[in-house]
Amino acid sequence: MTSEFNGLVAVVTGGASGIGLATALAFADKGAHVAVLDLKPETLTDDRLTGFVANVADRDSVNTAIAAVVETFGGIDIVVNNAGISAIGTVEELSDEDWARVLDINVTGMARVSAAALPHLRASQSAAIVNLCSIGALNGLPQRALYNASKGAVLSLTYAMATDHVREGVRVNAVSPGTVATPFVDNFLKQFDDPVKERAALDARQATGRMVTPEEVAGAVLYLASPLSGSTTGTALEVDGGVTHLRVRQQ
């Protein structure tokens, strides 16, 4: 099947599970060559995905992985900055170590990957970067002070990168999901005293009455990464089940 992604090289960080894996598979379905950068790429089971060990918190690791992608595929056309972590707590409850770790991975990690990939993206006629943001960037979520702060920084980073690189032919956009049903969220919920109750609350928070699926987020990523979206840059696309803008009565 002919697709605008045929032959393009897409890099997806944190692509071995959850949103990243759904996105990597969606690119593969469209005919792209897909490079997955992950701490544990050996868990990949689909032979259309090529795994590379990468720790976004380490610049040397990122540079080595990006160089290996280029050596394998000959270039890079698309980067999806998906790797990230979360944290529970108010500003009183979070340590300096918590702040340093989350901001290093969620924000500086995106900058590291993008910086390593930009020389190769400039050589592409279809260059695009998509950053995974969150509705937490613009909505106050309880006990997510650090996570929200990191995603607010991601949103600002997206706008700044889009401005810096638009004249170089590199588009930069973001996707802001609501709460997504992934193994990451399942493990995150284990930190609560009543994970079942907390999951029900997360479902109810979406106006649709359920959490967002990884495939729905992947669809938004592919839209923004597509060469057919050539005039879309500096945009944040919300995939949040109506959390941000809808106010519906509870059933």
- Count the neighbouring beta carbons within 10 Å of the beta carbon of residue 84: 25
Indicate which residues carry an active-site annotation.
Answer: 147
- What Rg, from alpha-carbon coordinates, does the chain have? 18
In the three-class reduction of DSSP (H, G, I as helix; E, B as strand; rest coil), residue 195 is classed as helix
Long-range interactions of 20-23: CB distance < 8 A, separation 24+: 20/80, 20/82, 20/83, 21/214, 22/213, 22/214, 22/215, 22/217, 22/218, 23/80, 23/82, 23/214, 23/217, 23/218, 23/221, 23/222
DSSP state of 2: -
- Count the neighbouring beta carbons within 10 Å of the beta carbon of residue 191: 12
Distances (CA, A) of 61 to 54, 90, 140, 220: 5, 32, 34, 28
Phi, psi of 79 (to 5 degrees): -125, 130
Q: Is 56 exposed, middle or buried (0-12, 13-18, 19+ CB in 10 A)?
A: buried
